[in-house]
Every structure is written in C-alpha cells, then in structure tokens.
Amino acid sequence: MTSVDAIIERLGATRTCDAGLTKDPWAFDTTKPSYGPGASALDLIPRNAPRQQPLGKEYTEASDEELQERIIDAKHELGSKLLILGHFYQRDEIIVHADYVGDSFQLSKNAATRPEADNIVFCGVHFMAETADILSTPRQNVILPNMSAGCSMADMANIDQVTDCWEQLTDICGNTPDTDGKQQIIPVTYMNSSAALKAFCGRNGGIVCTSSNARAVLEWAFERGKRVLFFPDQHLGRNTALAMGMSLDQMPLWDPFKANGGATPEQYANAKMILWKGFCSVHQRFTVEQIERARKAYPGVKVIVHPECSMDVVNAADGTGSTAYIVKEIENAPAGSAIAVGTEINLVNRLAAQHPDKTVFCLDPVVCPCSTMYRIHPAYLAWALENLVDGKVVNKIVVDPQTASEAKIALDRMLRVHP
Ligand code: 13P
Ligand code: SF4
C-alpha cells in the first residue's frame, strides 16, 4: 500500500492542519459555541445551536482501549433493541461499532426499516438524526451521541431566511399556477438541512434531494414547476443543473445577507434555478490546482469528487457523485489503478486501507476532517450507550409532530422518485 506520507511527498504537499484537531472534542464543550477545529471553524454557528453537556471524567480520562471495550459491552447488553448507524465520514473507531455504514440517504432508509430497534444511535450529524426521527416510528428514540455535531452547511439556511426569500420571490414571480398548471416555484431542499426546511418544502409542493438523487428530483420538480428554489448548497444545485443542460445565466444566487437576495427581480423572474448561497466548508477546499497536481504526480489517475465541490473542480474531474458513488467507483476500479478523491478525509483514508491493491488518495491529503462529524468521539458513544443500559435516554433528537408530518411529505416524495 502507498502510505499517506509517500503520497503527500509525491504531491509536494505539507502535512499541516488545524492545531485544534490534536485536542479531544470535549475541549470544545465548555467553550463558546463553535463548529470546533478544522474545516468549518470559520463559519458562524447559529446562536441557538444545540450544546453538548460536558462528559464526566470516567469518559474523558478513559483510554481508547477501555472506551472500545465499554462500547462493545454496552452494545452486547442492549442487543437487537439497539441500532447504530454510521455515516461514511465517521472515524474508524466509531465505524467498527456501526450496524450499518452508508451515506445520508442509505442511512435514513435503514432507520425506517428496523421498527424493532427501540433506540437508534445515529453517528453522523444533527440533520441526519432529525431525518431518522421523522422516518422511524414514534416509539423509537433517535440519539445523537454529541449534540454539537451539526453541519455548517445546513446552518447556512434557516426557516426565517427561507420564508423571507420565498415571500420576495413570490412577489416577483407570482404564486398562481401558469396556464399549463405548473407552479411558479418549487422549493427543493438538500437532505443537509433542518427538519423545518424539509417541512417548508412539504407544505409548498416541494421535495427533498440527496447527492445521489439530485438529478431525478430536479426532473420531478421541473415537471411540476417553472423554476426551482434550491437550498442550502449552491454547488450541488449548480452542478446538477449544468449537467441537465441549464446555463449559468439561468441560475442566479440568493444571498440571504444581501438586500433582496443580491440579484435583480428580472434575473429571478427569468431564472430556472435560484441557488441559495450555502456551501460545505470541507468540499469547498478542493481546487483545480490540486487536480492538476494529482494528474502530474500520477499520470492516468482517475479523479472523482463529491458534487458539493465547486463547478470548476467538478468540471476538471473525471467523475462526480455521492459518497456511495465514490465508494462504488473505488470498489470497481481495476487493481493497480490510481484514484484521487475529492471528499472527506476519513472516508478516503478508510477506502485506501480497504484497497491496498490500488492507490487511493485525497486530492488534498492534509485536508481537515469534517469538524462536526469529528465531534462523535468514542467517549460520547460510550456515554450514550451506557446511559441506555441504565435506562436513561440522553441526547434524544425530537422533531415536533407538525414539522415531522410536513417534512415527511417532502421526504416521501423523494423516496417515490428514487426508492
Ligand atoms: P452524502 O449524502 O453523500 O452522504 O453526503 C452527506 C454530506 O454531508 C456530504 O458532505
Ligand atoms: Fe456538513 Fe460538509 Fe460536514 Fe457534510 S462534510 S456534514 S456538508 S460540513
């Protein structure tokens, strides 16, 4: 296997990242609210973002080995009443305990197919746990081991901002259907969004999408509407719309921090896709220069990237798709091939270790992990599980019934388009 260090050397990169990553995540539980060290540290966290209560010393001072044993013991005790879901971006020390590992779309579906599990422990981020709560039965508990595992992109659009945008856009575009019966604007939210935004889509004729079904969902939307308002990730929206043949001048941005969204009423009236100005701090770090460097260092390398990367990066890559697509591409690549990947480092390093006959590396080998996924440390998982063994449910994620039922309308529409 080619070691990460050898790849870093060949790419001419340096091994530097955020110094905060050397600290344990509980170092941030008592500081001012932040996304923590790493990729999204510079983004502003909403004032009302959930906070994690500090863990006791029996967790923060336990050795890695002890924590692993305690997780195994608790899991054993809880048996089939427990379901642990692990997103691809989680640390390996968490993934080893997951009953299912997958992308956000696969995991949400898994949550819906295990009604016998009393407790679903979601090792991922907040919006994923909310979705699992919506799709699971009312008697099941969904638990997020660390409450401050949010998603900086999901936090870039809140319900007040989206409602304000919607009112302004309906003033411009009207809110009565066209002569052909099509709605003026269909709201489409990426899975990486709060339950409140999914509910907004549910009650306004809209739908949810993930990175694995964005194109099919947009086709559904354009059968029913003249325009789409797509939030919160501008890049997934732009990359998908470009692949469907739309042009950049049909895709004005809506910036919630600019008066009237920042573009002219004519631009919004003539738009096909109105893109919310949100982004993923992890995927926005990948650049065309990194792709060029990889191609130079590894002639013949295949470059695959997540569609949350910018348009220039997606255009310069050989393939783009969800984390599930990236996993499949690497599995199917012939032995001896080199694959450079533009997505989160935990997943890429795991894929590299699982495929020692191939050279798999991150386009930016020094990229920080997703700082909020990183918040799920084994100490929090052990804490959540041991509390369950004691009959206590901690960090339960509850979506209120009205929001959940409207959000489910938008999620069910997605599941009918792309089962
Ligand atoms: P997937 O939908 O591909 O799992 O991606 C989720 C995510 O957060 C990507 O940054
Ligand atoms: Fe959010 Fe980006 Fe982390 Fe995914 S990788 S959870 S979009 S911050």
Q: State the distance from the centre of ligand 1 to the C-alpha of 261, rounded, in angstroms.
A: 26
Could you read off the pLDDT of 134-188 as tens digits, one per residue? 999 999 999 999 999 999 999 999 999 999 999 999 999 998 988 888 999 999 9
Q: State the distance from the centre of ligand 1 to the C-alpha of 63, rounded, in angstroms.
A: 31
**Ligand closest to the CA atom of residue 320:** 1
Could you read off the pLDDT of 32-85 as tens digits, one per residue? 777 776 655 566 778 788 888 899 999 999 999 999 999 999 999 999 999 999
Q: Which residues contact 359 (CB under 8 A, 6 or more apart)?
A: 2, 7, 298, 301, 337, 338, 339, 352
The finding on whether 104 has its CB within 6 A of some atom of ligand 2 is: no
Q: Is the pLDDT assigned to residue 1 strictly greater than 80?
A: no
Tell me the one-letter amino acid at 235: H
The finding on whether 281 has its CB within 6 A of some atom of ligand 2 is: yes
> From atom 6 of ligand 1, which residue's Cα is the shortest distance away?
104
* Per-residue model confidence (pLDDT) at position 137: 92
Q: From the alpha carbon of 192, which atom of ligand 1 is closest?
A: 8
pLDDT bin (cut points 50, 70, 90) of residue 402 is: very high
242 token code pair: 């470009």
Measured CA to CA, the distance from residue 313 to residue 316 in angstroms comes to 5
* Per-residue model confidence (pLDDT) at position 33: 74
The structural domains of the chain, with segments of one domain joined by +, span: 33-152+373-400, 155-280, 283-362
Q: State the distance from the centre of ligand 2 to the C-alpha of 58, rounded, in angstroms.
A: 30
**Ligand closest to the CA atom of residue 281:** 2
The finding on whether 322 has its CB within 6 A of some atom of ligand 1 is: yes
Tell me which architecture the domain covering 155-280 has in CATH.
3-Layer(aba) Sandwich (3.40)
Query: What's the average model confidence in pLDDT over 109-135?
Result: 93
pLDDT bin (cut points 50, 70, 90) of residue 8 is: low
Measured CA to CA, the distance from residue 92 to residue 344 in angstroms comes to 13
* Per-residue model confidence (pLDDT) at position 13: 58
pLDDT bin (cut points 50, 70, 90) of residue 329 is: very high
Domains 33-152+373-400 and 283-362 share a fold: yes
Query: What's the average model confidence in pLDDT over 129-135?
Result: 95
Could you read off the pLDDT of 342-357 as tens digits, one per residue? 999 889 999 999 999 9
Could you read off the pLDDT of 223-276 as tens digits, one per residue? 999 999 999 999 999 999 999 999 999 999 999 999 999 999 999 999 999 999
- Rg over alpha carbons for the chain, rounded to the nearest Å, is 21
Model pTM?
Answer: 0.93
Q: State the distance from the centre of ligand 2 to the C-alpha of 367, rounded, in angstroms.
A: 13
Determine the topology of domain 283-362 in CATH. Answer: Rossmann fold (3.40.50)
Determine the topology of domain 33-152+373-400 in CATH. Answer: Rossmann fold (3.40.50)
**Mean pLDDT taken over the chain:** 92
pLDDT bin (cut points 50, 70, 90) of residue 98 is: very high
